[in-house]
Amino acid sequence: MKIVYTIAIIGSGVIGGATGTGFASLGNIVIFIDNNPDTLARLTRNGHTTSSINELPQHNPNIIFMCLPIPTTYKGVDLSALENTLCSVAEYLATTETDYPIIVLRSTAPIGTTHSAIRLLEKYSGKKCGQNFGVCVNPEYLRERYAEDDFLNPHVVIIGSEDTKATKRLTELYITITDNIAVIGIREAEQHKYIHNLYNACKISFFNEHRYVCNVLGIDADTVFPLVVESSEASWNPIYGTKDMGAFCGSCLPKDTKGFLKFAKQHALSMPLLEAIIVVNERTKSV
């Protein structure tokens, strides 16, 4: 028998909107919460239930997804919106009779944020995480243009948890979408999301750097790059480079990275990413 959950989505933009819409399409009761009236009006027009954070007790959600934006400023990552919202969620936890509500952090945030969130929830609710409520991390990988499709067709769902009961409930929720669910620690899940994004950024910058070189040298990058993707073990072997095997060595990689960097400098081509690759490899050798 399928379990129907009552789910609150706090932060109903691209990520929250796709998350809530996806769960609603599977038969769950979903309440969208946001401080943008245009977002709420659009969701209401589409037949969804919208509310305010002060009305959480009226809905008694089993699971609360925190999908708030966490911007980066010149001072660093700004967690103020998340922290303020957690205080409001703690007020709900203090009075609710819902059996073991689960708070799920969906936003990308620095390592340690979830444990800080747990301390805030405990402080302002007067209740204990692991006894009265659960907290999990659930990183998202949704592309803005395809967020709803991505949500319903995930490559993997990751649950960061230290709580068996919370893990079980979130797994029961996601099993209707996929059985490829990985449960890891909270800090590992937080770090995973950053590595996920930084790996994507690194790959884009890698090929942008070589596109610049190709353009200067009059080489057709769009002929070369697809063949690199096909031939390179870094593309066709998913675990290539991920094992703890130290610096790259052998007869090819050390000489070719240094050799091409020397070639680039001889032709006045700036390749800071290639320089960094060599620096990191030399540092790894010395560890």
Confidence of residue 287 (pLDDT cuts 50, 70, 90): confident
Mean pLDDT of 175-195: 97
Pick the closest to residue 130 from 103, 101, 172, 163 (CA basis).
163
87 and 41 together in one domain = yes
Calpha distance 165→163 (Å, rounded): 6
Q: What is the pLDDT of residue 71?
A: 87
Query: Do 145 and 268 share a domain, yes or no?
Result: no
Model confidence at 134: pLDDT above 80: yes
pLDDT at 132: 96
Q: What mean pLDDT do residues 213-224 have? A: 98
Q: Looking at residues 267-272, what average pLDDT do you find?
A: 96
* Domain-terminating residue out of 141, 163, 185: 185
| pLDDT the model gives residue 240 | 94
Q: Is residue 214 part of a domain?
A: yes
Question: Same structural domain for residues 27 and 141?
Answer: yes
11 and 126 housed in the same domain: yes
Contact call for residues 191 and 111 (beta carbons, < 8 A): yes
- The answer to the question of residue 181 being in a domain is yes
Residues 146 and 247 in one domain: no
Examine the domain organization and report whether 14 and 155 are in the same domain.
yes
* pLDDT at res. 211: 98
Same structural domain, 229 and 128: no
> Residue 165: CB partners within 8 Å, gap ≥ 6?
100, 134
Do 75 and 166 belong together in one domain?
Answer: yes
Q: Is the domain of 132 the same as that of 228?
A: no
C-alpha dist (Å) from residue 281 to 231, 237, 265, 285? 23, 21, 19, 6
Pair 91, 213 in one domain: no
DSSP 133-162: BEEEE------GGGHHHHHHS-S-EEEE-S
Domain count, the chain: 2
Within-domain flag for 89: yes
**Model-level pTM greater than 0.75?**
yes
Asked if the structure places residue 114 within a domain, the reply is yes
pLDDT tens for 136-183 read: 999 999 999 999 999 999 999 999 999 999 999 999 999 999 999 999
Domain of 149, CATH number, reads 3.40.50.720
Q: Of 185, 204, 239, which residue constitutes the final position of a domain? A: 185
169 with 203, same domain: the answer is no
85 plus 148 within the same structural domain: yes
Q: Give residue 154's pLDDT.
A: 96
1 in a structural domain: no
Containing domain of residue 280, as a range? Answer: 194-286
pLDDT at 6: 96
| pLDDT of residue 1 exceeding 70 | no
